[in-house]
Amino acid sequence: MSNALIVIDVQNDFCPGGALAVTGGDDIIAGINALMPQFEAVILTQDWHPDGHLSFASSHAGRAPFEMTEMPYGPQVLWPDHCVQGTQGAAFHQALATDPADLIVRKGFNPAIDSYSAFFENDHKTPTGLEGYLRTRGLTGLTLVGLATDFCVNYSAQDAARLGFDVTVRQDLCRAIDMDGSLDAARAAMRQAGVTLA
Ligand code: VGL
Ligand code: ZN
């Protein structure tokens, strides 16, 4: 079995000081870098939204960050503006080793659809292309790390397990947003989908 390390969204906006900061988001970076040489492939994902993305609260008059709305594809959290294409907030954290990456997958660039998962946009239909990349390279074992445990790591892990990959989430190398019990719900959903929580 060939194994890939998938590093989810270790970007400035998800680290302390960023627009959607995850507590301790930068604490995991040294451990992630140290893990890279153990894998046949290293893949980074990058949340990459156009200005005015519909997942931003600022795109909806009178709405505040962290409120819920309905999108054609289902419920959607309204986020603070974050990871806007080309900004410093969207850049990888400077401590993250990016040279070892074979592939960088950008997601969330469709102005009207959010994309938590590295595999499908939030409509659960539109593929990012990552599945094809992994299959054509024979990468069947996936270890996921990064930000945030309860959103992008969670949805990526569930999709990967449902696609038939052997998926492990290294919880010690992830950090969560944890709004309204979302971390506990994410753990239960990942287990249910057949993800190994390590
Ligand atoms: C993420 C919220 C919005 C994440 C991305 O990387 O977990 N969360 N966009
Ligand atoms: Zn986002």
> Which residue CA neighbors atom 2 of ligand 1 most closely?
151
**Whether residue 159 has its Cβ less than 6 Å from ligand 1:** no
- Look up residue 156 and give its two tokens: 């990526």
**Whether residue 48 has its Cβ less than 6 Å from ligand 1:** no
pLDDT for position 64: 97
Banded model confidence at residue 68, pLDDT cuts 50, 70, 90: very high
pLDDT for position 1: 82
**Rounded average pLDDT over 75-82:** 96
Banded model confidence at residue 80, pLDDT cuts 50, 70, 90: very high
**Whether residue 47 has its Cβ less than 6 Å from ligand 1:** yes
Q: What percent of the chain has pLDDT over 90?
A: 99
* C-alpha dist (Å) from residue 191 to 82, 91, 196: 29, 31, 7
pLDDT digits (tens, 9 = 90+) for 105-128: 999 999 999 999 999 999 999 999
Handedness of CA 50, 171, 198, 44 (dihedral sign): positive
- Residue 83 is among the residues annotated as catalytic for this protein: no
Task: Determine the length of the chain.
Answer: 198
Contacts 24+ apart (CB under 8 A), 125-129: 129/105
Q: Which ligand is nearest to the CA of 177?
A: 1
